[in-house]
Amino acid sequence: MRDVAVIGVGLTQFGELWEKSFRELIAEAGAKAILDSGISGKEVDAMYVGSMSSGRFIGQEHIGALVADASGFSFAHVPSTRVEGACASGGLAVRQGYLAVASGMHDVVVVGGIEKMNDVGGTSATETLATAADQEWEAFFGATFPGIYAMIATRHMHDYGTTREQMAQVAVKNHMNGVLNPYAQYRKEISLDAVLNATMVAYPLGLLDCSPVSDGAASIVLCAAEKAKKYTNKAVKIIAAGQASDTLALHARENICTLQATVHAAKMAYKQANLTPKDIDLAEVHDCFTIAEICAIEDLGFVKKGEGGKAIDNRITTRDGSLPVNTSGGLKAKGHPVGATGVAQVIEIALQLRGDAEKRQVPDARIGLAHNVGGSGATCTVHILEAM
Ligand code: COA
C-alpha cells in the first residue's frame, strides 16, 4: 500500500441553491479542487462520486457518468464511479479514492460528493431520507430520521442523564463556528434559549437540534504522497481510512446509544495510523442531530460512554477547547447535502492542517479526524489526516 495525499480541495456554497443545477454544483466543486491541486485535467486517472439519492431528489441516476460529463472528462473516457451509503456516501467515495491510489491502481483520483435536496418539498425530502432507514421495521411505521435520533436521545437521557441543555449547547457551538465559514448554510449565532424553545420536531429534538435540508457539492484531489510535491506544497496525508457496517434497524442493536459502526471504523483507523484518540488534535463528526455529536465523541473514544454531555458542559469541544469538534459549523450550521458531507468534512480537516482555515484556524493542528455516518449508523467511515 502507498501513502496517499489530499492535494486539492473545492467546495460550493451550501444552502438552498435554487439558481444552480446539480451539474453546475459538481462541476464547480471539481474545478475548484483541480485548480487548487495544481494538476492538469489530463492527469486525472479516475473519479469517484458520493450521492445518496439523486434519483429521488432530482430524477437522475447514472451519476458517475453524469459527473464525468458535466466536468468535461467524458471525452477523455475517465472511469467514473458513483458510491452510495446514505449520508456516508461522501465518506465512502473518499475511501474508494484512497484505496485506488494506495493500491497503486491509479496515481491521481478526483473524489466528489453532492446532493441537491431542495428541489423536492420538505415532506418528500423527509421520505427520501427515510429510505436510508429500515423500510420494513422503521420507515413503514412512520419513523423519520428526526424520530429515530429522538429515540436515541431519550435513551441517552435515561441511561446517562444527558440533558436537553447539553444537546442544545452542541447547536450553539456549531452555529458559532458556522459564522466563520464562508461556505456555511447558516452564518448566524443562536442562543441556548432559541434552541430550547424552537418548534419541537420529535421530542427531545427541536428544529435547531436538526441539521437542515441542503444543496451543495464538495471535491478533493488525491494522489500518491510521493508525487504530491510535484503539484503543490499544501498536501496533507491520509494516514488511515476505516469503514464499518451495522444493522439498519435500531431495535436489532444491543444498545441504541452506541453506534458500533463508528466504534469499529474508528478502531480500524486508529490501528492503521498507530494512534489513539488522545493523538487527535481536532475532529469533524457527524452531527446530523445534536445527540449524534454527543454519541460520536463517545464512540470515537474521545470521552467515556455516557460522558459526552459532560464534555459539552466542560467546553472540551469548542474551538479553544482541548479537542475542537466541527470547526466548520458541522452538519448543523454548515449544512448537510448528504452525499457531499463526508467529502466536505475531509476538506475542513485538510484546510485546518494546511493552516488555511482562516478565522476558524485551530493553532498547531497536526492530526485531524473525519467521521461520516450513513442513516442511524449502519455505515460509518473514519479518516485520519496528518499535516505533511
Ligand atoms: N437549522 C436551522 N434553521 C433551520 C433548519 C435547521 N435545521 N431548518 C429550517 N431552518 C429555518 C429555515 O431557514 C427557515 O428560516 P426562515 O423562515 O428565516 O427562512 C425556517 O427555519 C423554516 O424552514 P422550513 O424549511 O419551513 O423548515 P421545515 O420545518 O420544513 O424543516 C426540519 C425543518 C428540521 C424538519 C428540516 O430541516 C429537517 O428535516 N432536518 C433534518 C434533515 C435530516 O433528517 N437529514 C438526515 C440526517 S440523518
Q: 3-class SS at 36?
A: helix
336 is catalytic: yes
Contacts of 231 (CB under 8 A, 6+ apart): 7, 8, 37, 38, 39, 223
C-alpha–C-alpha distance, residues 123 and 110, integer Å: 33
Fold category of 126-210+239-334+350-387 in CATH: Peroxisomal Thiolase; Chain A, domain 1 (3.40.47)
Contacts of 229 (CB under 8 A, 6+ apart): 235
| pLDDT computed for residue 25 by the predictor | 98
| pLDDT computed for residue 276 by the predictor | 98
CA of residue 184 to ligand 1 center, whole Å = 14
Residue pair 145/373 in contact by the 8 Å Cβ criterion: no
Which residues of the chain carry a pLDDT beneath 50? Answer: none
CA of residue 218 to ligand 1 center, whole Å = 21
Residue 284 β-bridge partners = 370
Cβ–ligand 1 distance for 52 under 6 Å, the answer no
| pLDDT computed for residue 133 by the predictor | 97
Task: From the candidates 106, 264, 286, 336, give the one annotated as an active-site residue.
Answer: 336
Identify which of 319, 289, 322, 294 has the alpha carbon closest to the alpha carbon of residue 308: 294
| pLDDT computed for residue 23 by the predictor | 98
| pLDDT computed for residue 5 by the predictor | 98
Ligand 1 atom nearest to CA at 338: 46
DSSP assignment of 114-177: EEE-TTS-HHHHHHHHGGGS-TTTTGGGT--HHHHHHHHHHHHHHHH---HHHHHHHHHHHHHH
Cβ–ligand 1 distance for 153 under 6 Å, the answer no
Scan for cell 429522538, then name that residue.
Answer: 150
| pLDDT computed for residue 98 by the predictor | 99
Residue bearing the CA closest to ligand 1, atom 15: 186
106 is catalytic: no
| pLDDT computed for residue 246 by the predictor | 98
Ligand 1 atom nearest to CA at 146: 44
Domain parsing of the chain, residue ranges: 4-121+214-236, 126-210+239-334+350-387
Could you name the CATH architecture of 4-121+214-236?
3-Layer(aba) Sandwich (3.40)
Identify which of 133, 107, 111, 129 has the alpha carbon closest to the alpha carbon of residue 120: 129
CA of residue 212 to ligand 1 center, whole Å = 5
Q: Which of 211, 248, 291, 295 to mutate to test the pocket of ligand 1 (most atoms within 8 A of CB)?
A: 211
Ligand 1 atom nearest to CA at 149: 48
pTM: 0.98
Cβ–ligand 1 distance for 87 under 6 Å, the answer yes
Residue pair 276/270 in contact by the 8 Å Cβ criterion: yes
The dihedral sign for the CA sequence 186, 189, 192, 193: negative
CA of residue 312 to ligand 1 center, whole Å = 24
